[in-house]
Every structure is written in C-alpha cells, then in structure tokens.
C-alpha cells in the first residue's frame, strides 16, 4: 500500500519539487501553502504523514501542530524547519510531533520517516480498534 503524504510549506517551488521526488518513490502526495488549506484537505482525505514547515505566514508551526493533533490524533506530523533549535524541537515532540528535521533534508531520510509514520499510524489504529472490540465484548459500548 502506498504511503499518503501531505506537505505544508509556504515555498511553492519547494513543494513542487519535493512532491515530484516523493511521487517518484511511489508515494501519494498532496501539497499546500497554508494551514487553513491543509485543514480543508485533511477533512476529506486520510494521510499517513504530514511534513509541516515551522515558520509560516499567518500562524506558527507549533500552533498548527496543536491544531492538527487535536483534530487528527493518530496522524504523524514531521516538522521541517530552516532553524532547528533544541527548545523548539523539545516543545514539538512534547506536543506529539513524530520528528523535527532541519532543511535542507535528505530525501532518503524523509522517505524512511514516511514509512515509519505509516507503520506507527497503523499500529495506533490497530490499538484503537482492539480497545473498541474490548469495550464491546465487555459491554461498555452498549
């Protein structure tokens, strides 16, 4: 099953090239330049991983991360940034980011992150399903 990726960055040229490279690696890719666009796309489609730029016009990456994790808790968010400070990295991980990577990044590293994100998301979905079945069997969901 091909991995589904959403790229959010305010640099259209970066989005265009990164999308093309990930597609060449067999992934399904959507891209957008703002968090509001991203939320609209996420309302209709499922993704395994999101690459989110930390510094975007109108909002900051940390607030965007909070918004995404609140609406889609099992979605794996990888922050991409021009300046990866330790404090921001710790803050992002505490808020549930899967990883925090500095630009420019290696495509093989990013591809591997996407595969791990897909596996992690599947595990989370499986756990949630098992919990649901357990609740049904023990009558808590009736």
Partner 1 sequence: MDTVNSERERLRFFGRITAAATHDLKNVLAIVNENAGLLEDLCALAERGQLTPDRLTHASGRIREQVKRGDGIMRRLNDFAHSTDHDASQVDLGEAALLASGLCNRVAKLHETSIKVEAETSTSVTASRFEVIRLVCGLIEAAVKATGTSGGVSVTTQAGPPSVAVAAPEGTSVETGPLAPLAESVGAEIVSSDPHHVAVRFSGA
Binding site for partner 1 (CB under 8 A): 10-11, 13-14, 16-18, 20-21, 24, 55, 57-58, 82-83, 102-105, 107
Query: In terms of CB distance, is 36 or 129 closer to partner 1?
Result: 36
Residue entry with tokens 């968090």: 35
Q: Shortest Cβ distance from residue 17 to partner 1 (Å)?
A: 4
Q: How many CA atoms lie within 13 A of 136 on its CB side?
A: 6
Query: In terms of CB distance, is 34 or 74 closer to partner 1?
Result: 34
Query: In terms of CB distance, is 22 or 77 closer to partner 1?
Result: 22
Q: Shortest Cβ distance from residue 1 to partner 1 (Å)?
A: 22
| CB contact set of 68 (below 8 Å; sequence gap of 6+) | 38, 39, 42, 50, 52, 75, 77
Nearest by Cα to 30 from 95, 48, 79: 48
Q: Shortest Cβ distance from residue 31 to partner 1 (Å)?
A: 12
CA 95 to chain centre: 13
Query: In terms of CB distance, is 24 or 43 closer to partner 1?
Result: 24
Instruction: Tell me if 70 sits within 8 A of 117, measured CB to CB.
Output: no
């Amino acid at each position: 099953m091909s991995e589904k990726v959403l790229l959010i960055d305010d640099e259209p040229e970066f989005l265009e090239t990164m999308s093309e490279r990930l597609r060449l690696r067999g992934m399904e890719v959507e891209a957008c330049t703002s968090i509001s666009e991203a939320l609209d796309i996420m309302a209709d489609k499922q993704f395994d991983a999101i690459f989110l730029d930390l510094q975007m016009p109108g909002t900051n990456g940390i607030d965007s991360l909070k918004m995404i994790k609140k609406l889609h808790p099992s979605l794996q968010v990888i922050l991409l940034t021009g300046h990866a400070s330790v404090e921001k990295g710790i803050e992002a991980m505490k808020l549930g980011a899967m990883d925090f990577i500095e630009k420019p990044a290696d495509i093989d590293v990013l591809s591997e992150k996407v595969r791990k994100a897909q596996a992690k998301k599947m595990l989370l979905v499986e756990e949630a399903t098992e919990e649901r079945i357990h609740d049904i069997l023990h009558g808590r969901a009736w």
